[in-house]
Amino acid sequence: MYIVLLIIHIKMDRLHRDYYFERVEPYINNQLIKVLIGQRRVGKSYLILQIIDEIRLKNPTAKFIYIDKEKYEFDWLKTYNHLVEYVQKEKNKSGLTYLFIDEIQEINEFEKALRSLQNDGNYDIYCTGSNATLLSGELATLLAGRYIQIRIHSLSYTEFLKFHQLEDSNDSLLRYIKYGGMPHLIQLKPEESVYYEYLRNIFDSIVLRDIMARYNLRNLGFLKNLIRFLADNVGSIVSANKISEYLKSQQISIVPKTILEYLRYMENVLFVNRVQRIDIVGKKIFEVGDKFYFEDLGIRHSIKPYNQMDINKVLENLVFHQLQVLNYTIWVGKTGDKEIDFVAEKNGIRMYIQVCYLLTDEKVHEREFGNLLKINDNWPKMVVSMDELASGSFNGIEHWHIRKFLTTFR
C-alpha cells in the first residue's frame, strides 16, 4: 500500500483553472463532499492539484491522502471496505485530513465509505468521476444533501489561450477549433500528428473502458459507427429512428431501443451532450428529436478530420460548450416552424442565440435575425458569427463575432 507523494513539478500558475476553483473554494474546510465530474482527461486532476496547492499555502502542515484509481498502486482498492480501512490507517491522528479520490466510480459502493468518513467529522473530502450518473444510484440516497457536484469541462477558449500562452486571434481560434481543449496538449510536441495520436488514445480509452467495459457491450463496430454518425451530424436533429434508417441504408440492422441505450451510455460518460428541444411559447419539451454536441472538438476531429465545410457545425459546438462552461441550462428552441439554435437560462435570465458562419446575403440575414424577431418577448437575443465586422445590433438583436462571444460572454 502506498500514499501518492504530491510533488508538483509543473508550473501551477499556468495550470490554474480559476473559474472552477472559485466554485470549489467556498466549500474548502466544509463538511460537504466535493464531487467533480467530467469526461476523461478534461483536467479534473489538474484542479485537484490546484486545490491542494492552495490549501498548502494557507496550511503548510496539512495532512493529505490522494488516491488515484488509475494508478497501479491503488489497483487493489476495489470496495468501500478497502477504502475506509486504508483512509483510517493513513489519516491524521490528531486533526483534519484532506482526502482526495480520483475516479472514485472504480470503487464498488463508494457511497457507503464516503458517508462513514463524513460522519467521522475529521475529513475534508474531494472526489472525481467520469460518469454523469456517479451519484444517481440507490446508494446515492445515503449522501442526499451531503455533497455538491461540479461539472468540469475541457478548456474554454480563454483557458486555451492561457495554457498555450497565445494571444486572441483568428489563428489561435482555428488552433482551438482543430485541436480542442484537452489540458495535457501543452505537455506535447506542438505537431498535428502528435496531438491527434494523443486525442485518438483518449477516444479509445473512453470507448473501450468507459463505455464498452463498464456497460458490458459487445458491438464495438456499431458504437464507433454511431459516434461517427454523431460527429457528422453535430447540430442536426437526431432521433433513434433516423439513425436506424441510416444504418439500414448501410446494410446494418439495429433496432431503435439499442440505439437509445448506446446514446445514453455516451452521455453518461460525458463524451457527448444531448440537447432537447423546447417550444418557446408553451415551454413544452419535445420528447423526440434532440441535438448532440461533443465535449471536446479535438476528439471529434480525431474521429472525423476537421473540414472547413463543417464550420457551421463546429461554431454551434463551440457556442454550446461555452454556454455549458458558464453553467447555463440549454435547449434548442422552436417557435412555429422556426428553430432557434440555443435557448439558454441562468439565474432566471433567458437568452436566445443564433449561430452561423457568415451572413453572406440577405437570405441568410433574414433567417438568422428573422427567426429571433419572431420571438415575442423581451429577453436578450443574439446572432454569433465569424463576420469580421460583426458588431452593433439589428432591431435590438446584437451581432457578435465568435471570438468576442468566447472571451467576454457571461
pLDDT tens track for 339-378: 999 999 999 999 999 999 999 888 899 999 999 999 999 9
Q: Taking each helix axis from N to C terminus, what angle separates 110-120 and 80-90, rounded to the nearest 10 degrees?
A: 30
Do residue 341 and residue 263 come from a single domain?
yes
Which of 151, 173, 189 delimits the end of a domain? Answer: 151
Do residue 167 and residue 197 come from a single domain?
yes
Question: What pLDDT, on the 0 to 100 scale, is given for residue 199?
Answer: 98
For the chain, the distance separating the N- and C-terminal CA atoms, rounded to the nearest angstrom, is 46
Would 284 be classed as within a structural domain?
yes
By percentage, how much of the chain surpasses pLDDT 70?
96
pLDDT over 60 (residue 12): no
Would 110 be classed as within a structural domain?
yes
Would 6 be classed as within a structural domain?
no
Do residue 145 and residue 117 come from a single domain?
yes
Measured CA to CA, the distance from residue 70 to residue 74 in angstroms comes to 8
Would 93 be classed as within a structural domain?
yes
Lowest mean pLDDT among 4-13, 136-145, 203-212, 220-229: 4-13
Which of 151, 169, 186 delimits the end of a domain? Answer: 151
Would 128 be classed as within a structural domain?
yes
Measured CA to CA, the distance from residue 30 to residue 131 in angstroms comes to 24
Lowest mean pLDDT among 12-16, 86-90, 219-223, 375-379: 12-16
What range does the domain containing 117 cover?
A: 12-151
Would 1 be classed as within a structural domain?
no
Do residue 161 and residue 144 come from a single domain?
no
Question: What pLDDT, on the 0 to 100 scale, is given for residue 284?
Answer: 86
pLDDT over 90 (residue 137): no
Lowest mean pLDDT among 57-66, 131-140, 264-273, 395-404: 131-140
Do residue 175 and residue 99 come from a single domain?
no
Do residue 96 and residue 207 come from a single domain?
no
pLDDT over 90 (residue 379): yes
Residue 64: CATH number of its domain? 3.40.50.300
Do residue 146 and residue 168 come from a single domain?
no
Mean pLDDT of 377-402: 95
Q: How confident is the model at residue 138 (pLDDT cuts 50, 70, 90)?
A: low
Q: What is the mean pLDDT of the chain?
A: 93
Q: How confident is the model at residue 1 (pLDDT cuts 50, 70, 90)?
A: very low
Measured CA to CA, the distance from residue 72 to residue 66 in angstroms comes to 14
pLDDT over 70 (residue 139): no
Measured CA to CA, the distance from residue 161 to residue 164 in angstroms comes to 5
Do residue 189 and residue 301 come from a single domain?
yes
**87-115 pLDDT per residue, tens:** 999 999 999 999 999 999 999 999 999 99
Which of 134, 151, 168 delimits the end of a domain? Answer: 151
Do residue 338 and residue 250 come from a single domain?
yes
Do residue 196 and residue 218 come from a single domain?
yes
pLDDT over 50 (residue 317): yes
Q: 65 CB contacts (<8 Å, ≥6 apart)?
A: 3, 87, 90, 91, 97, 98, 99, 100
Do residue 122 and residue 58 come from a single domain?
yes
Question: What pLDDT, on the 0 to 100 scale, is given for residue 250?
Answer: 79
How many independent structural domains does the chain possess? 2
Measured CA to CA, the distance from residue 354 to residue 398 in angstroms comes to 10
pLDDT higher for 310 or 251?
310
Do residue 390 and residue 329 come from a single domain?
yes
Question: What pLDDT, on the 0 to 100 scale, is given for residue 135?
Answer: 85
